[in-house]
Amino acid sequence: GFARARQTRAPARPIPARAARAPIGRHRTLALVESSARDDMSTLRARRAATPEVVDDAETTKSRATRARGPFRLPKADEDDDGKKCSAWFCAVCDVDDAPEWMVWNPYVRSGYRVGARWLGATRSIFMLHNETVNIWSHLLGVLMFAALIVQTFRTAHSGVGLAAPPAHWVTGADVARVERIQYATRWRQEIRRDRDDLRAIDVALHERLQNGSAARDILRGVRDDLLDVTHELAEHLESGEEVFKVEKRRKVLKRSLKGAQKVLEAMDRAGGKDYEEISVQTEALREKLSQLKKHIKFVPDDPEPARPVTRWPMYIFLTGAVVCLFFSTMCHTYCCVGEIDAERMWRFDYLGIAVLIVASFYPMLHYSYYCLPGWRDMYLTGITVFGCLTVVPTFMRAFQKKEYAPLRASLFVALGCLGLFPIFQQVFFVWHIVPTPMMEAFYFEMAMGFGYVFGAFLYAKMIPERWSPGSFDFFGCSHNIFHFLIVLSTYFHYRASIIYLTWRDNYTCDADHELLLEWYHLGHHFRYPTD
């Protein structure tokens, strides 16, 4: 807005040139605009020049340095309050010379500044082109992606099975035969689950193909129900961990059920008819499922262990932290053009989101890698949470937002992230030199994550590549855009590493590092086995 000026009446003295060009008060300006709506611009300038004003030079300079272009459009002209041309009044086309000083953080981005926007206008600018468009959408899409991963993690937690059958080379200090049995039972359980889903799909197809009351459909539905009951019986067998003699008894009962279903299908083949021709595809699918279930019954795992997936709350914390960080970043880049004070407040939430993501990223890694060492696990999780809270405190201090404190901000976040090196070093010296574990596979993703963060921060700090060609990367490809994409990609790499930790513990719990636990136990008796 316009700076308020002190007005004095001095008709006897000539008006200085500087005073003639000085901005006038807001109410006076609006009155002039309303009274001269039908006049051309030359008349308006003449009236301004005739207005006797004396304005303090320092106040005028400060006002012009910190304000945006005029918040309204004069009639029939795209001119601001100084009479200087601006390429547009709203969103994405004003040059760096037209933008207020507080809005310009990168001197090599020469255009695309949103000037004169308020909250509603800034919201609309999400769908417009400016130098924050890529920053907004890169993290907005990241919010949607990690929200979908939260839903997927929740579904796997309540499906009754693990994430996947682990590879054979994950077998470490545990009994090899037992681990192989667990792997086979896991794969067998997943096949039963797929059969169950396929049978439900066949029922939907039958409903679409034939009308109610069709004898053929009712018969096939009965067969489908029998096969579905078989899958439920098999799943119940795995979850209850029955003894061998009970397995044999259940196997005989299920074989009789399948034999009855097979006789029904054979009778339908002999009968034929129009209804049968319409559902021949579904009949063949049922016959195929019947054959698969026979194989599953024949090779039922002996003495399988109940499926008890480990807790998922560390994954929920990490994914929620990613959503919070990316959401705060999206909001900050959307509304950072509203005003200087509002922008300072928004950037505080941006720094808060960064700290939340760093702390949340440690939870799945520490919880699952130290799953069988609860002493170390609780110590590391408590320490990283406390340090994260201490890092958040300076982000809400106004002085922390100044440009000269940018190195301090970066140092705090880097120090917080480096705390993760201590548990990694401990894993190197106490895990990998004993037996190979899935920690090595997860470590590759962690290295990719670290490289993405460091490389992106380096480009952002050095303002590469826009410093090589100022103005060429205003809308696409500047260092801030690249940094945003690398943040999303690195966070996804950490998600992949966390999935490896989770799959490992889902299938092996503490048996996978049995020898490791023994070594820790005999070395110092500091951490005993968990009792639950």
- Nearest of 467, 461, 462 to residue 109 by alpha carbon: 467
Is the pLDDT assigned to residue 299 strictly greater than 70?
no
Residues 34-43 pLDDT 10s: 444 444 445 5
Helix (H, G, I), strand (E, B) or coil at 85: strand
Give the DSSP per-residue string, 186-237. HHHHHHHHHHHHHHHHHHHHHHHHS-TT-HHHHHHHHHHHHHHHHHHHHHHH
What integer pLDDT is reported at residue 240 of this predicted model? 47
What integer pLDDT is reported at residue 508 of this predicted model? 67
> In 339-366, which positions are buried (b, 16+ CB within 10 angstroms) versus exposed (e)?
beeebebbbbbbbbbbbbbbbbbbbbbb
Greater confidence (401 vs 351) lies with 351
| Mean pLDDT of the region 240-245 | 45
Q: How far is CA 139 from CA 361, 456, 486, in A?
A: 17, 15, 10
Give the tokens for residue 354.
């960064």
Alpha carbon 162 to chain centroid, angstroms: 23
For the chain, what percent of residues have pLDDT higher than 70?
A: 46
What integer pLDDT is reported at residue 48 of this predicted model? 47
Residue 130 labeled ligand binder: no
Is the pLDDT assigned to residue 477 strictly greater than 70?
yes
Question: What phi and psi values does residue 79 have, to the nearest 5 degrees?
Answer: -125, 145
What integer pLDDT is reported at residue 413 of this predicted model? 79
Question: What phi and psi values does residue 159 have, to the nearest 5 degrees?
Answer: -90, -10
What integer pLDDT is reported at residue 23 of this predicted model? 44
What integer pLDDT is reported at residue 428 of this predicted model? 64
CB neighbour list of residue 267: distance below 8 Å, 6 or more residues apart: none
What integer pLDDT is reported at residue 454 of this predicted model? 85
Taking the C-alpha atoms of residue 47 and residue 310, their distance in angstroms, rounded to an integer, is 78
Taking the C-alpha atoms of residue 65 and residue 313, their distance in angstroms, rounded to an integer, is 50
Contacts made by residues 61-65, CB under 8 angstroms, sequence distance 24+: 62/3, 63/2, 63/3, 63/23, 64/3, 64/23, 65/100, 65/101
Question: What phi and psi values does residue 131 have, to the nearest 5 degrees?
Answer: -80, 5
What integer pLDDT is reported at residue 22 of this predicted model? 41
* Top-ranked range on mean pLDDT: pick from 208-222, 329-343, 459-473, 477-491: 477-491
What integer pLDDT is reported at residue 254 of this predicted model? 60
Residue 110: pLDDT band (50, 70, 90) is: confident
Is the pLDDT assigned to residue 73 strictly greater than 60?
no
Is the pLDDT assigned to residue 12 strictly greater than 80?
no
- Rounded to a whole number, what is the distance in angstroms from the first to the last CA of the chain? 66
- Please check whether residue 503 is in contact with residue 511, taking contact to mean a CB–CB distance below 8 angstroms: no
Residues 370-429 pLDDT 10s: 887 788 888 889 989 998 888 888 777 777 777 677 677 777 777 887 787 788 777 666
* Top-ranked range on mean pLDDT: pick from 227-231, 241-245, 401-405: 401-405
Taking the C-alpha atoms of residue 251 and residue 389, their distance in angstroms, rounded to an integer, is 57
What integer pLDDT is reported at residue 6 of this predicted model? 38
| 3-state percent helix, strand, coil for the chain, nearest multiple of 5 | 70, 0, 30
Is the pLDDT assigned to residue 176 strictly greater than 60?
no
**Weakest mean pLDDT among 84-98, 336-350, 470-484:** 84-98
The dihedral over CA atoms of 482, 488, 492, 493, expressed in degrees to the nearest 10, equals 30
CB neighbour list of residue 4: distance below 8 Å, 6 or more residues apart: 25, 26
- Please check whether residue 94 is in contact with residue 24, taking contact to mean a CB–CB distance below 8 angstroms: no
Q: What is the DSSP letter of 432?
A: I
**Weakest mean pLDDT among 221-225, 422-426, 475-479, 523-527:** 523-527
Residue 144: pLDDT band (50, 70, 90) is: very high
Greater confidence (159 vs 376) lies with 376
Residue 95: pLDDT band (50, 70, 90) is: confident
| Mean pLDDT of the region 102-113 | 85
pTM for the model: 0.61
Taking the C-alpha atoms of residue 486 and residue 499, their distance in angstroms, rounded to an integer, is 20
Residue 480 labeled ligand binder: yes
What integer pLDDT is reported at residue 184 of this predicted model? 65
Give the DSSP per-residue string, 131-181. TTHHHHHHHHHHHHHHHHHHHHHHHHHTSSS-S-PPPGGG--SS-HHHHHH
Residues 207-223 pLDDT 10s: 555 455 456 656 666 66
| Mean pLDDT of the region 429-438 | 56
| Mean pLDDT of the region 512-519 | 47
Question: What phi and psi values does residue 447 have, to the nearest 5 degrees?
Answer: -65, -40
Position 231, amino acid: T
Greater confidence (82 vs 260) lies with 260
Is the pLDDT assigned to residue 264 strictly greater than 50?
yes
Q: How far is CA 323 from CA 105, 149, 242, 319, 390, in A?
A: 25, 10, 43, 6, 21
Mean pLDDT of the chain: 68
Residue 484 labeled ligand binder: yes
